[in-house]
Structure 1
Amino acid sequence: MTNHKVDTPSKIEWTELYNQLLDKVDVGIHVIDEHGKTILYNQKMMEIESMESDDVLDKDLLEVFKFHNNQHSTLVQSLQTGKTTKSKKQTYFNNKGQEITTVNDTFPLLQGDRIVGAVEIAKDVTQLEKVIKENVLRKQNTKFTFNRIIGQSEMFKSVIEEAKRATRTSSSVMIIGETGTGKELFAQSIHNGSSRSTKPFLTQNCAAIPDSLMEGLLFGTKKGAFTGAVDRPGLFEQADGGTLLLDEINSLDPALQTKLLRVIQEKSIRRVGDTKDKQVDVRIIATINEDPLDAIAANRLRKDLYYRLSVVSLLIPPLRDRKEDLSLLANSFIDKYNAMFQMNVKGLSEDAMQMLYQHDWPGNVRELEHTIEGTMNLLIEEELITAQSLPTKFRRRYQNSQSSIPEIDYPSLSQDEEIKPLRDKMTEVERMYIQQTLEANDHNISQTAKILGISRQSLQYRLKKYHL
């Protein structure tokens, strides 16, 4: 039998493997020696503190990080006193002046009875703290009501009326619309018009927070559930009695969608790490920036959750489908920035409005507002926004096209044909054309919308409007 010698890693190689392992763990690890200088600083700690290893290694900790006057470094305290601390929240500043908040377990390193260093295991709560502060601010600034929603098109007024009817109950609402159409305005207006108006209104963008933090943020945490976990109520508990807006629900992790469905069905939550349920009374309003059926087909939205959330469905039309509202919206933004910039712009010239009408507004109302704000930043003493005042992209794309609009050969009316109001005639023609196109495409919604040059949401609105 032949003996095969197995090569074992050298001491140096073991050190390298050990450092690789430390860089893989999902907690920050910071070790200082007996002189207070950093000797180990893993990858997660770099991410938490927005630092590079060269900024910290072999440097005195108190020369790198700054603490409030009434606070001390838990790591240095452990080195000096030999005491162990558990789940200690600490806020301090890195070398760029950026505020960091962590929850730490800190303990001394002993060689016999002698303290030769200290180690800190940190869990990042900076982002969680920031989100909670933002939600508190949003709770205090729920200012939109239906009388502040601007629009006179029949399509838009119909959605407003549907939303007003939704204020009478506590059923879940799903608001469907492209980015920038004003979905949160409708959500706030529904809350402020309901019996819950005196209770909290909290909002959370499901795409803005990592999955690892989202569960604790929504449902809360129990102390000891994980390293750094403290007793903290989630958004559901904070919104008890009021409304919780979940923005971009299609970005929520599928596993969390399952837990959210359970909360809606049972009207109770369980904090992360807890064994007890707690009853909550929260109205859910969810928004989605794509067709829900597309999101379901692509496994971005659970079908059962969609049915539970869409008890009331509101389809917010994109700006390109309600261009009759352009003038109203543009002038409201002019008024807003007149007050903000202490200006006296009277409105838009005819040629400027023609350019705005030609644009498709992929960014919707938000894009229009940014366009007006940017334009007014460049005005000096002008009282009107003209075509020349608008951003370069408008002038390059639309200025030359204004003189090349083709003439239309309008058909003459027969003597016995009844003359109808223009709106009625346009409605009649639109209904007929949609019906014909739909039939020609075997009632395929996506294909019909593509041929008509409108979104699926807009087509669905018209099908509902015309009972097709």
Structure 2
Amino acid sequence: MNALYQQLLDAVDVGIHVINKNGETIIYNKKMMEIESMGSEDVLEKNLLDVFKFRDSQSSTLVQALTTGKSTKNTKQTYFNYKGKEITTINNSFPIIENGTITGAVEIARDVTQLEHVIKENVLNKQNTNFTFDKIIGHSEPMLTVIDEAKRATRTTSSVMVAGETGTGKELFAQSIHNGSARSSAPFISQNCAAIPDNLMESLLFGTKKGAFTGATDRPGLFEQADGGTLLLDEINSLDPSLQAKLLRVIQEKSIRRIGDLKDKKVDVRIITTINEDPIDAISSGHLRKDLFYRLSVVSLFVPPLRERKGDIDLLTKHFIEKYNKLFKMDVKGISSEARQILHEHDWPGNVRELEHTIEGAMNLILDEDSITVRNLPTKFRKKYQQNADKLPSSLLNLSGEGVENRPLKEKMAEAEKFYIQQALIENKNNISHTAKKLGISRQSLQYRMRKFGL
């Protein structure tokens, strides 16, 4: 039975802390350890006040229950663990009474530390939006198409859903739509739905009314803060389905109700959402309500992954080199042809963000070079380059011409191009369309080169 009790205590999604009549901890469940960033060995069998520190104006609700015999409900409490970490919880505390004598006290806690940090970091305040369409880098056809569609969406106040893989730059489009619209002078509020626990997200979105729980204050939510402007809900598919239903009601009625309030308040907010998976897949898997999807996707934009817009790699690489030149006070001129080729061969599962981190990492490894070379790239790229180099004919490896007949550069470049196309055809099982996509050229251009080289 003890094992069963312990399993049940660790399974619940609230913190449970029990002390005996001496103020020593006798039960401390897994959730409480997570909330307070403590191990059981740090707390069990130790006096509560030796482990945790409370502000002068506030005492422990758990100790109060032990000493006064009074219960408290929905009381907000901020305190510190022995490492100095600040913790904020909403507590229900009550004494344990046996035969009329107080023998201990129990506290059930919900964590609101993250919400407090969000508020302190001014997430609820108007955020600066730096991106406009002219700052989005890309001249490939897929990118120009989605930019054009996004520009058209600036003319209205309809909801926009921006779909795309992680790292493709979905928020750049959201900011650009806001800055290009008539709401550009109004607030732009952004919130990642995956970053806040479900039990805190509702109060963050809709706000709280004083008296909703002990310690609650009149606090506007994201919708009120974004009134007249734009609210970006990032990773909407991470939002709890019950909250999705409440969000749907807000969109339909154009009004919100703070937690603990009895009155609705009208809000004028344009909603832009992002989603990092195919919306149809999200609906099928239960991550996104179908009715909410139809409301949010009046305008649907699909940001292409980097592997489908490899024609933009050179532009992006140049931009990131310039960015980190300024940041690191360096003067890197560019990237070698061998390193550039590797960047074009990579599939970029992390998309533009991965490319940026790759360039940043490479520039950290530069010593005396004036450009990024293969040896400056991360290990996974260098290994791939070495594997490809092992397949190359010796005439291509010996670029200095030593030991082989010297030939004009044009001939050597043609031989290298022919070899590269051959390898791509082999890897794609001679599928012309797939090979052309892999090489970042059109099908017609590939067919021309195949005829030219007799392939």
TM-score by length of 2: 0.76
1:233 corresponds to:
220
2:279 corresponds to:
292
For 1:95-145, what per-residue CA distance to the aligned partner results, in whole angstroms no more than 9, with x for missing partners? 333321112344566679976655433221112223444562884343222
Of residues 289, 303, 307, the one that matches 1:316 is 303
Give me the CA root mean square deviation.
3.5
How far apart are residue 260 of structure 1 and its match? Answer: 1.8
Report whether the alignment pairs 1:96 with 2:83: yes
1:158 corresponds to:
145
For 1:270-320, what per-residue CA distance to the aligned partner results, in whole angstroms no more than 9, with x for missing partners? 334544322111111011222223333434333332222122222212212
Mapped partners of 1:138, 1:290: distance in 2 = 29
How far apart are residue 321 of structure 1 and its match? Answer: 2.1
Mapped partners of 2:239, 2:4: distance in 1 = 36
What SS is found at the alignment partner of 1:171? coil
Structure 2, unpaired ranges of 5+? 394-415, 422-430, 439-455
Report whether the alignment pairs 1:51 with 2:38: yes
**Conserved 8 A contact 1:109-1:119:** yes
1:365 corresponds to:
352
What is the correspondence of 1:5-16 to structure 2 with a 5 Å cutoff? Answer: none
Of residues 152, 172, 184, the one that matches 1:185 is 172
For 1:328-348, what per-residue CA distance to the aligned partner results, in whole angstroms no more than 9, with x for missing partners? 111111121122222221111
1:461 corresponds to:
none
Q: Which has the larger displacement, 175-184 or 39-48?
A: 39-48
Mapped partners of 1:305, 1:450: distance in 2 = 36
Of residues 336, 355, 364, the one that matches 2:323 is 336
What SS is found at the alignment partner of 1:36? coil
1:425 corresponds to:
none
Of residues 239, 245, 249, the one that matches 1:252 is 239
Mapped partners of 1:383, 1:452: distance in 2 = 32
Mapped partners of 1:65, 1:137: distance in 2 = 30
**Conserved 8 A contact 2:91-2:109:** yes
- 1:23 to 1:278, Cα distance in 2 relative to 1, 3 A: same
Q: Which has the larger displacement, 375-384 or 80-89?
A: 80-89
Structure 2 residue identity aligned to 1:256 = L
How many aligned residue pairs are there? 404
For 1:11-31, what per-residue CA distance to the aligned partner results, in whole angstroms no more than 9, with x for missing partners? xx6x88777665565443334
What is the correspondence of 1:271-420 to structure 2 with a 5 Å cutoff? Answer: 271-401=258-388, 403=392, 407=418
Structure 2 residue identity aligned to 1:48 = I
For 1:371-390, what per-residue CA distance to the aligned partner results, in whole angstroms no more than 9, with x for missing partners? 00111111122211012221
Structure 1 residue identity aligned to 2:371 = L
Mapped partners of 1:227, 1:137: distance in 2 = 22
How far apart are residue 43 of structure 1 and its match? Answer: 4.1
Mapped partners of 1:22, 1:303: distance in 2 = 36
How far apart are residue 267 of structure 1 and its match? Answer: 0.6
Mapped partners of 2:239, 2:434: distance in 1 = 28
Report whether the alignment pairs 1:125 with 2:112: yes
**Conserved 8 A contact 1:122-1:228:** no
What SS is found at the alignment partner of 2:251? helix
Structure 2 residue identity aligned to 1:180 = G
Report whether the alignment pairs 1:176 with 2:176: no
2:453 corresponds to:
none
Structure 1, unpaired ranges of 5+? 1-12, 411-436, 438-448, 455-468
- 1:147 to 1:70, Cα distance in 2 relative to 1, 3 A: farther
- 1:204 to 1:112, Cα distance in 2 relative to 1, 3 A: same
What SS is found at the alignment partner of 1:375? helix
2:52 corresponds to:
65
Q: Which has the larger displacement, 161-170 or 104-113?
A: 104-113
Of residues 245, 248, 256, the one that matches 1:269 is 256
What SS is found at the alignment partner of 2:131? coil
TM-score by length of 1: 0.75
- 1:131 to 1:348, Cα distance in 2 relative to 1, 3 A: same
**Conserved 8 A contact 1:87-1:229:** no
For 1:409-446, what per-residue CA distance to the aligned partner results, in whole angstroms no more than 9, with x for missing partners? x9xxxxxxxxxxxxxxxxxxxxxxxxxx9xxxxxxxxx
What SS is found at the alignment partner of 2:123? helix
